[in-house]
Amino acid sequence: MFTSLYDRCMQWARHRHAAWYLSGLSFAESSFFPIPPDVMLAPMSMAQPGRAWRYAALTTLASVLGGLLGYLIGYYAFDLIQPWLQESHYWSKYLVAREWFEEWGFWAILVAGFSPIPYKVFTIAAGTLAMSLPVFIIGSILGRGGRFFLVAALMAWGGPTMEAKLRMYVERIGWAVVVAAVIAFLYFRN
């Protein structure tokens, strides 16, 4: 089951329009979409190691532009999205993001850009707090760029060898993740 999914993902990573899809995903994830661009960047960089730096740059640019949209949403339209945000699981993350900005400013956006913390929440919070736009952009470029270039470099370094090794073990890895997710669900449900 996981091997065929893996093969399909690697086939999509080599698609002639994959870079456009990666750009769209990167842009959307930075302001409203829940799936991170790493899920496309990693296999694309592994499938075509010679293009990894290009993919990382493209992902960074699109992500920062999407982050600007998030900033503008926070700055101009927060009243429109606040009810939805309060009802979603992002509200507590948004409140934490505001606290971080008030305490650390630039460093908050840098860390959010690099880490798996939902960057979109920080882009919106930066807008609601009217963070300096040049500081926001620089922090976003450094944070997002650092993350995406690291992912691209690691996958390109592994290249076809890693692709073949992963394919050998993808069934075991996939089922291990499913079992771990079920155990975590059962444990935290109580």
Q: Going residue by residue through the chain, which has 190 residues, state the pLDDT in tens, using 9 for 90 and above.
A: 666 766 666 677 777 888 898 898 899 988 877 778 888 888 888 888 899 999 999 999 999 999 999 999 999 999 998 998 888 878 888 888 888 888 888 898 888 888 877 888 889 999 999 999 999 999 999 999 999 999 899 888 987 777 777 777 777 777 787 788 888 878 877 6
* 186: Cα separation from own chain's centroid: 27
Identity of the residue numbered 7: D
